[in-house]
Amino acid sequence: MSTTTELTELHHLIGGLRQCVLSMKSKYGDSPAMRRIVNDTERILNDVELLDIDANELELGQQTIIVSGEKIPVPDTPYDSTFWRDVDDEGVGGHNRR
């Protein structure tokens, strides 16, 4: 089943859910519990619409990444000490702080 077909089916099911929720709301009134159910239904619809918008990006993310066999050499020589001057170690704090 393709993504488009799945999203179409999901929109159809959510449409049925909304009809059921509106029917329940007319029966049970505007209680806090009913408002939560209505809000949850709307949130689900919004989330599916966002997923629908992002479907193209998701399909791009599933493509195979081709890694080249090129290796980048890293020199064994030490870095210039001035490169690290005035830099704090993350999570450790500054070297000169007391």
In this predicted structure, the answer to whether residue 75 has a pLDDT above a threshold of 80 is yes
Q: Provide the residue range defining the domain that includes 44.
A: 31-65
The answer to the question of residue 83 being in a domain is no
Instruction: Cite the DSSP H helix spans in the chain.
Output: 3-28, 32-61
The answer to the question of residue 59 being in a domain is yes
How big is the CA angle at 51 (ends 50 and 52), to the nearest 5 degrees? 90
Q: For 24-50, what is the mean pLDDT?
A: 91
pLDDT in tens, 58-71: 665 566 666 777 88
The answer to the question of residue 11 being in a domain is no
pLDDT at position 36, please?
Answer: 94
The answer to the question of residue 10 being in a domain is no
